[in-house]
Structure 1
Amino acid sequence: MEGQNESVAPENRNKSLGALQANAEAVRAIASAVEGTLGPKGLDTMLVNDDGEVIVTNDGVTILSRMEIQHPAARMVANIARAQQEEVGDGTTTATLLAASLVDEGVKQVNRGVPVAKVIAGIRRGVRFALERMQEKAHPIWDLEDEWLQRIAYTAGREQEDITELVMEATHMVGREKLLEKHFKLSEAVVAHPRVSNSIFAGLLLQQNRANLHVPSLKESVHVMAVSGDLHPGPDTDDSDFRQVLQNMIQLDVGLLAVEGETADIALDELTNADIMVVQNLGTRDLFRLAEHTGAKLINRAGLFKSEQDLSSVLGYCEEVEDEVDHGFIRLLEGIGKAYATIHVGASTEEVVGERERITKDAAAAVQAAIRGGFLPGGGAAELALARDVEKYRDTVQGMEAFGVAAVAESLHRPMSQVVANAGFNPLEKVEEVKALQWKRQSASLGVDCDRGAIYDMVDMGVVDPLPVKYHALQAACEVSTAILRIHTVVKMDSTSGGKFEVKL
């Protein structure tokens, strides 16, 4: 076969193709589990386990993370959805579909006789070119008053107005500078509970209750101390010295003591008598957030033995602390440190509130991503326009890598095809119609109105997506698809042979 290395024995080639086909089928099955959720007309999936737990969602990463997945290649694709969620908080279904399509198109080229290495190299070149063009086409967002932010929140929030309003209010409360910080995620500000009303406030919620319930649940004008590690005397410390540490806290008028680990009984008794609220077992992340918001400086157990004057410099402050025991969290309001906002989402049942929390997190992540990187036309329009650019680029690529570039161009049709199919229209007909009109008008924003099936400008309709969401989805899809295409055979480990490998082909 033309382009195939003649030194490869036919039987070995057949085995390699068999493994490749099996992997492609497994990946295709994973994509089919989430493809029906994409777009404004996407439907929900009901997940049920053996214990009767029910989750109703159209969130791709939730579906994939809860599915029972046996095939290793399928698990690789499911993992990119998790990576997409961790990186940008949205676009997990798109990343999954693009990965599946790249694998599928790559296998087609291999079946034509193109060497796998050439296909992989071409896919990487095509994706690299598409990512560069994607950045060039993006519309930047310079301030929080940009009207596109609300449209992005509305689209990512499944067109739920109350969620859109909450996310936008939180965005303004936190501010652009905080939203641009690398490690800050607005989506982490979302907390849901079935017995609360929608609300937003300038402060934090800690998923913990106070350790000493005899202390009042509400405190105002609170000095805050944040202790890393455990709070206990230690093997080399006299009880009298440790009691002096506790007396220093009392003299400093500490109102809230936040401890990363455990608090010794002797400390809990003394602090309770002084009406100091103690919150323990917070964990590193929550302790850091508390310190950042209240302006407290983290101090370890050894640092507590400093003088009262030195300890006063590590204290933080917030206007109010309230332990809402029935809801299982502590609310901190208006700290003097960095701004934080908490979005409180409620619903009627556990099943519904879980999905509303996921939707709100998606909307918050999408808004933050748009602030960081700008936006592109949604509805698959941007990917379809990129497909045209990649097709032109293919003509400049010499050698068999051009077939891999062609696989990228074909895969970029997939998002719009799936959105159109989920809306009940013929994807082949509609995508070709949009593609022709995009070329005729030299427009990168034409797509399909999923209500009427007509072609409209997605930007004019307000249907846009953040650049980082699309960028990372394509980037992650490239990484996992090329990794799967490189697998030429599957070797199963034999658990009875002392960890040795047994080849079963």
Structure 2
Amino acid sequence: MAESEFFDADRVDPRLSALQSNVNAVRAVASAVETTLGPKGLDTMLVGERGEVIVTNDGVTILDRMQVEHPAAHMIVNVARAQQDEMGDGTTTATLLAAALVSEGVKQVASGVPVVKVIAGINRGIRFALKKMKDRSRKIQHLDDEWLQRIAFTASRENEDITVSVIEAAHLIGHEKLMDKNFRLSSSVVAHPRAESAVFTGVFLNRSRLNPQMPRAKVDARILLLADSLVAETVDDEALRTEAGFKKQERFREQFLTALENMVHLNVGIVLTTGNIDPLAEDILTDSGVMVVSGLTQDEVSRVSDHTLAKPIKRSSLFKPMEEIEPILGYASIIEDDGILERVLISGGRGKPFATILVSASTEEVVGEIERICKDAASAVQAAVKGGFVPGGGALELSIARDVERFRDSIQGMERFGVAVVAQALERPMTQVVANAGFNPLEKIETVKAYQVKRDSDSLGIDCDRGTISDMIEMGVVDPLLVKYHALKAAGEVATAVLRIHTVVKMRNNI
């Protein structure tokens, strides 16, 4: 029976109605991103209700902005988001794998295999495939490894400028920092439509000094990092009408002035805050030659703290004795860009090294896409440093699909049908890459399979320019292991969650 016949609503077993609805929704989501995969992938235009336009082939951007209503479709979108949050790349692959697992799983259920057996088999097949992926990984030896540049080049969609910038930033950051599980090289990417693309040593803040009378630069200065507003405590209006309340307000003001005097005595040269600045504080600090930058985000506070060793404090800590405040100060140099960016660069900190990748383009729409591409490249480079790389173009998945098929033959019972689902799904990435390149996937996939067996290779795939069988490693078409690993793992988790849904019941609204 053909797929289109199977999913005809009039002919589907009523007991499978929830699965039918779910698989159709999942396929619809996958179809929105499948044409973006591979070197010949096309762009998608997203159009908002007010006519705003985004042109992109970034899977997570498409899924994040598209209108999705079906609950199962939301689950697939969440896979892409999880992939983006964890790896910063591979969202389209994760989505296609999840859709393929659901689709192939439902076929097995429709043919009579109990859904619990299909799910158990999928889980076994995924675990086996993930182990095989790890076994096939090629390690990155050092930051000058030529494969690292190839990975950046591929992830940047063959943009040489982005490739050079990302590799330069990786060298500035260093191997140790790139291995830090809490650090994201992609967070170092900032974008502006009217600037020169460049790489800077240090932390860029999307802010400017509080007023032009403050110094534009400070060298090796003490930094006070305030995760709060720099304002005096106040009493409410009702209390202020009483004598006690008025005196309390005056006491708050005196304490605040003392705190400002302590900053000056401690030779604080830079004050960075997340909130607002009291006008009196602005005047005093300006007169004292202190540079103030306000409105920092929590992410910026974290990066500044790591780079300068300044400890973020709340406003109440300002009223402590000077000898208690001094140890929480950091050290760094800061300069405000004198061009059109209106941003400041903090560099030379005594803490962890940081780099900022500034990318640019002629328009807001284009610069947004360039920023997304650069973040993908940065994420891919960091993932490769951590876990090594594997053949790209769907070659590795196709090779592992063959291993999974052999693994299936060793399993007794109906779980083997679930394992077969994984083998079928692993063919999906190369199938889509080949289709997007304009070739017949049925013909090409079978030919590649035969050649992989003949040469005992996991790196043979299709040259998308010529349509010939080529070695992906020799062509330089490689992907970070961790991106593929997490994509398959996340796809397996959501696919089994969707397949477990037997009934869909609409909840009533709370009264």
TM-score bracket, normalised by the shorter chain, equals: over 0.9
SS of structure 2 residue aligned to 1:335 = coil
The residue aligned with 1:285 is 299
User: Which of 70-79 and 86-95 deviates more?
Assistant: 70-79
The residue aligned with 1:146 is 145
Please identify runs of 4+ aligned residues in structure 1 that moved more than 4 A.
none
Distance in 2 between the 1:358 and 1:324 partners? 26
Distance in 2 between the 1:470 and 1:405 partners? 19
The residue aligned with 2:127 is 128
The residue aligned with 2:79 is 80
Distance in 2 between the 1:261 and 1:354 partners? 27
The residue aligned with 1:437 is 451
The structural deviation recorded for 1:230 is 3.0
Does the Cα contact within 8 Å between 1:15 and 1:489 map onto a contact in 2? no
Work out whether 1:298 is the aligned partner of 2:297: no
Does the Cα contact within 8 Å between 1:209 and 1:324 map onto a contact in 2? no
From 462, 467, 476, the counterpart of 2:476 = 462
The residue aligned with 1:418 is 432
The residue aligned with 2:21 is 22
Distance in 1 between the 2:298 and 2:39 partners? 39
One-letter code of the match for 2:24? Answer: E
Unaligned runs of 5+ in 1: 1-12, 500-505
The residue aligned with 1:4 is none
The residue aligned with 1:503 is none
Distance in 2 between the 1:353 and 1:260 partners? 27
The residue aligned with 1:56 is 55
| Deviations 1:305-329, CA, capped at 9 Å, x for gaps | 2333433322222233215684243
From 483, 487, 490, the counterpart of 1:473 = 487
Does the Cα contact within 8 Å between 1:386 and 1:412 map onto a contact in 2? yes
The residue aligned with 1:42 is 41
The structural deviation recorded for 1:115 is 0.6
Change (3 A) 1:243 1:325: farther
Work out whether 1:264 is the aligned partner of 2:263: no
Does the Cα contact within 8 Å between 1:178 and 1:184 map onto a contact in 2? yes
Distance in 2 between the 1:295 and 1:494 partners? 52
Distance in 1 between the 2:310 and 2:101 partners? 49
Distance in 1 between the 2:305 and 2:403 partners? 49
Percent pairwise identity: 59
- RMSD over aligned Cα atoms: 1.7
SS of structure 2 residue aligned to 1:238 = helix
The residue aligned with 2:173 is 174
Does the Cα contact within 8 Å between 2:205 and 2:343 map onto a contact in 1? yes
One-letter code of the match for 1:75? Answer: H
From 256, 259, 262, the counterpart of 1:248 = 262
Distance in 1 between the 2:13 and 2:502 partners? 10
- After TM superposition, the structure 1 = structure 2 runs for residues 277-356 of structure 1, keeping only pairs within 5 Å, are 277-322=291-336, 326-356=340-370
The residue aligned with 1:67 is 66
One-letter code of the match for 1:97? Answer: L
One-letter code of the match for 1:137? Answer: R
Distance in 1 between the 2:103 and 2:327 partners? 61
SS of structure 1 residue aligned to 2:328 = coil
Distance in 1 between the 2:316 and 2:204 partners? 28
Distance in 1 between the 2:69 and 2:338 partners? 42
From 424, 436, 441, the counterpart of 1:427 = 441
| Deviations 1:103-125, CA, capped at 9 Å, x for gaps | 00001101110011110111011
Aligned length: 486
Change (3 A) 1:52 1:278: same
TM-score for both structures, normalised by structure 1: 0.93
Distance in 2 between the 1:436 and 1:14 partners? 38
The residue aligned with 2:154 is 155
| Deviations 1:259-316, CA, capped at 9 Å, x for gaps | 1333333322321222322222313221121111122122332332233343332222
Distance in 2 between the 1:448 and 1:473 partners? 22
Distance in 2 between the 1:444 and 1:37 partners? 24
Distance in 2 between the 1:324 and 1:287 partners? 23
The structural deviation recorded for 1:213 is 4.0
Work out whether 1:452 is the aligned partner of 2:466: yes
Does the Cα contact within 8 Å between 1:219 and 1:322 map onto a contact in 2? no
Work out whether 1:233 is the aligned partner of 2:232: yes
SS of structure 1 residue aligned to 2:269 = strand
Does the Cα contact within 8 Å between 2:209 and 2:336 map onto a contact in 1? no
One-letter code of the match for 2:446? Answer: E
User: Which of 320-329 and 77-86 deviates more?
Assistant: 320-329
The structural deviation recorded for 1:208 is 2.5
The residue aligned with 1:6 is none
Does the Cα contact within 8 Å between 1:209 and 1:325 map onto a contact in 2? no
Distance in 1 between the 2:155 and 2:356 partners? 18
Does the Cα contact within 8 Å between 2:217 and 2:333 map onto a contact in 1? no
